[in-house]
Structure 1
Amino acid sequence: MVFKKMLSAFGVGGPTVDTVLSNPNTRPGLFLDGHVNLRGGETEARIEQISLALVTQVEVEGGGSEYTGVMEFHRMPVAGAMQLAPGQQMSIPFQLPVPWETPITDVYGQRLRGMTMGLRTELAVARAVDKSDLDLVSVHPLPVHEKILEAFSRLGFQFKKADVERGHIRGVRQTLPFYQEIEFFAAPQYAHAIKEVEVTFVTNPHTVDVVIECDRRGGMFGGSHDTFGRYVVEHANVDQVDWTRLVDGWISQMVTHYGNQFHPGNQFHHGAPSFHGHQGHHGGRGRGPGMGAVVGGAALGFAGGMIAGEMMDGMFDDDGGDEGFDE
């Protein structure tokens, strides 16, 4: 028995954990539901805590260098201290709220190139190696996100890639320590003035801040620079807005005027234009519309620039537990 306890302390023959999601697809402001399944090992184990955490890949800049790391941005305890007998099986239900600012990983049923999102389960075992499990999560756009992205596609902008960058945008209220950038190649009618466009959504239960960065081409007497605009739209009357015309107006305004420039550190300059639009209200106690509307509508060529993200073994930190993305 002493030998088995010693092995358990090194993670051999100890308890195991496996999280099963009812549906790995969600939206900002909705929930992830499922069960955490435990199985006792060869000896009795004292579980100190079971926690769930959302994690994603984030680009970090600092000290003149740039690197990509994995960042946890939302955590919730599922269960506290308990005893788990040898071979005992236990299933613990959970409902994890998804933050409104959670980055989008999928559009029209396809993974955005550059995006990775996972739900990590951590099983803290007293006097033993902790166990963990990692499950792939797909975050689909809210209707306002989808309408704006669709408008870019209708205007001829071609999707390039998406990433998540650590930092805050000055002038925009953020609750998470990072923001997502969805990048497009310029549409033909704007190619003379700009090379690329980056779109950032900072979402809350009532409105969405849409921050647009245009990579302007250099003129005869100066090099290229970035122009920024900030526009605020509401979660009301989504189907009553001509989003293509609205987005075209945003870009035209930014191309016509030099606008404001960011300083290093991705901070937003004050004085950018603001538009208070309207978009469909979410029903059901603020949980948003059902998942049935997530991938509806024509892709309009937007999906043509996307590929399924690769889930590579070892991409997330390995702490000795049974870890990996479940299919």
Structure 2
Amino acid sequence: MMWKKFLSSIGIGSVKIDTVIPKRHFIAGEVVDGEVIITGGQVAVPIQSVVLQIVYQFEEIRDDSDFSIHEKELNQLTIHLDKEILSGETVVLPFQLPLEQHCPVTEEKKQTFLRTTAIIPQSVDATDQDEIIIKKDE
């Protein structure tokens, strides 16, 4: 059992999260809604909260950075859970996260993601990332 707890603490056999949204294409100002599905791993794991972020990722050469890919958080929602997820247990968390009215449009080198992170104390946080497409209002 101790070995399973150790493996879980480094992310092996730990909880899995999957963010499910009914559509991928949005217009600025719309609400992204869906569910975060948390599935228990091999051992019980305490989850403090689940953080959902709308992240805009773009490519830009800057003098002050060694990296050409940059990120900007557009919106965030924290769902406080403070629950131990048991082995094999499934927890479903519905959510709604609005997009800014002036949200950047998806282009070739400019993408938007819905990033979900389960905050797990003293362990590797479980994450999921899904691309969403932001289109102009037509």
TM over 0.5: same fold? yes
Q: Does 1:139 align with 2:138?
A: no
Question: Structure 2 vs 1, CA of residues 6 and 48 (structure 1 numbering), >3 Å: closer, same or farther?
Answer: same
Contact 1:60/1:69 (<8 A) preserved = no
Deviations 1:251-278 (A, max 9, x none): xxxxxxxxxxxxxxxxxxxxxxxxxxxx
Superposed displacement of residue 8, structure 1: 0.8
Q: Once superposed, what is the RMSD of the aligned Cα atoms?
A: 1.9
SS of corresponding position for 1:62? coil
Q: What does residue range 62-211 of structure 1 map to in structure 2 within 5 Å?
A: 62-63=63-64, 67-105=68-106, 112-143=107-138
Deviations 1:13-50 (A, max 9, x none): 11000001111111111101111001001111100110
Q: Does 1:2 align with 2:2?
A: yes
Superposed displacement of residue 65, structure 1: 7.8
Question: Structure 2 vs 1, CA of residues 13 and 29 (structure 1 numbering), >3 Å: closer, same or farther?
Answer: same
Superposed displacement of residue 61, structure 1: 2.8
Structure 1 gap ranges (5+): 106-111, 144-327
Superposed displacement of residue 79, structure 1: 3.6
**Which residue identity lines up with residue 68 of structure 1 in the other structure?**
I
> In the aligned structure 1, how far is the partner of 2:100 from the partner of 2:125?
26
SS of corresponding position for 2:108? coil
**Which residue identity lines up with residue 62 of structure 1 in the other structure?**
D
Superposed displacement of residue 3, structure 1: 1.4
**Residue matched to 2:22:** 22
> In the aligned structure 2, how far is the partner of 1:131 from the partner of 1:53?
14
Instruction: Considering fraction of residues, name the structure with more helix.
Output: 1
Structure 2 gap ranges (5+): none
Contact 1:28/1:141 (<8 A) preserved = yes
**What fraction of aligned residue pairs are identical, expressed as a percent?**
27
**Residue matched to 1:39:** 39
> In the aligned structure 2, how far is the partner of 1:51 from the partner of 1:99?
18
Deviation >3 Å, runs of 4+: 62-66
SS of corresponding position for 1:35? strand
> In the aligned structure 1, how far is the partner of 2:47 from the partner of 2:66?
41
> In the aligned structure 1, how far is the partner of 2:40 from the partner of 2:76?
24
Deviations 1:57-85 (A, max 9, x none): 23263349883323323211134311111
Instruction: Considering fraction of residues, name the structure with more strand.
Output: 2
Deviations 1:70-118 (A, max 9, x none): 332321113431111111011111111101121111xxxxxx3222111
TM-score by length of 2: 0.89
**Which residue identity lines up with residue 110 of structure 2 in the other structure?**
M
Deviations 1:129-172 (A, max 9, x none): 101000010111124xxxxxxxxxxxxxxxxxxxxxxxxxxxxx
SS of corresponding position for 1:4? helix
